[in-house]
């Protein structure tokens, strides 16, 4: 599952905006791109060229995409900076309503599995996943089956520290979001509010049917 930072809002209103006032929707998407792109660029810049641990390195990314291929040790995706960077993106289209009843007007995503591990490893278990050993019969991916009892702790120690933001804690998109200090969210919310006000003004004037 992708790691996300969401700008929440009324996705149904966005869909109506796209249907009846496509020029207004296109202008909004442009402003959202301008607001979110700097955060994505900075987050990509936090991805180190080399793996934090030699045993996590994934080799060349030639011919490999973040969507279709993952380097693995068993079920663990190996580190590849090209794949991780390619998985850090922004979205300016509204999302479907999720299981909690929320939708987003725009988002920043860290989509690759390795990128998600780099982003959030240690949030739930600062000392790494509980160690059960290599010979255990456990099939859980929430425990360490390494031959080294300190493998989890050493893994976390080799990563940069987690950085807290108002959207969550992490090392890539959340770190960039914290560094941005609310500028991106402020610009995005202002763009959305302005677009909605214009859309509602057009509706009040009875001009939406002309654009349909």
pLDDT digits (tens, 9 = 90+) for 65-79: 333 333 334 467 889
Q: How confident is the model at residue 122 (pLDDT cuts 50, 70, 90)?
A: very high
Q: Round to whole Å and give the CA distance between 7 and 192.
A: 10
> How many C-beta atoms lie closer than 10 Å to residue 149's C-beta?
13
Q: How confident is the model at residue 211 (pLDDT cuts 50, 70, 90)?
A: very low
- What does pLDDT average to over the chain? 84
Report how far residue 187's alpha carbon sits from residue 184's, in angstroms, rounded to the nearest whole number. 5
pTM equals: 0.82
Q: Say yes or no: 22 and 69 in one domain.
A: yes
Judged against a pLDDT cut of 60, whether residue 18 lies above it is answered with yes
- Considering the domain architecture, whether residues 70 and 153 belong to the same structural domain is answered as no
Asked if 83 and 64 touch (Cβ cutoff 8 Å), the reply is yes
Which range of residues forms the domain containing residue 98? Answer: 3-114+161-202
93 plus 129 within the same structural domain = no
Say if 46 falls within a structural domain: yes
Q: Confirm whether 143 is domain-assigned.
A: yes
* pLDDT above 50 for 63: no
User: Rounded to whole angstroms, how far apart are CA atoms 117 and 77?
Assistant: 9
29 with 83, same domain: the answer is yes
Do residue 64 and residue 88 come from a single domain? Answer: yes
Q: Does 132 share its domain with 57?
A: no
Residues 151 and 178 in one domain: no
Q: In the chain, how many domains are there?
A: 2
Decide: helix, strand or coil at residue 155: helix
pLDDT digits (tens, 9 = 90+) for 132-179: 766 666 666 676 666 676 777 888 999 999 999 999 999 999 999 999
92 and 49, same domain (yes or no): yes
Q: Give the confidence band of 9 by pLDDT, cuts at 50, 70, 90.
A: confident
């Amino acid at each position: 599952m992708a790691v996300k930072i969401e700008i929440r809002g009324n996705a149904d209103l966005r869909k109506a905006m796209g249907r009846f006032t496509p020029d207004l929707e296109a202008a909004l998407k442009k402003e959202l791109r301008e607001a979110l792109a700097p955060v994505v660029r900075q987050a990509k810049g936090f991805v180190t060229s080399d793996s934090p641990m030699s045993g996590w390195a994934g080799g060349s990314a030639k011919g490999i995409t973040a969507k279709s291929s993952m380097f693995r040790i068993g079920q663990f995706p190996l580190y590849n900076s090209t794949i991780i960077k390619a998985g850090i993106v922004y979205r300016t289209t509204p999302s479907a309503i999720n299981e909690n009843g929320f939708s987003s007007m725009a988002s920043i995503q860290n989509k690759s599995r390795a990128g998600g591990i780099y982003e959030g490893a240690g949030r739930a278990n600062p000392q790494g996943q509980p160690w059960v050993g290599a010979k255990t019969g456990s099939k859980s991916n929430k425990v360490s089956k390494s031959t080294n009892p300190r493998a989890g702790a050493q893994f976390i120690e080799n990563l940069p520290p987690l950085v807290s933001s108002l959207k969550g804690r992490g090392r890539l998109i959340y770190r960039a979001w914290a560094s941005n200090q609310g500028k991106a969210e402020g610009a995005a919310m202002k763009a959305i509010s302005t677009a909605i006000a214009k859309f509602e003004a057009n509706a009040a004037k009875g001009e939406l049917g002309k654009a349909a």
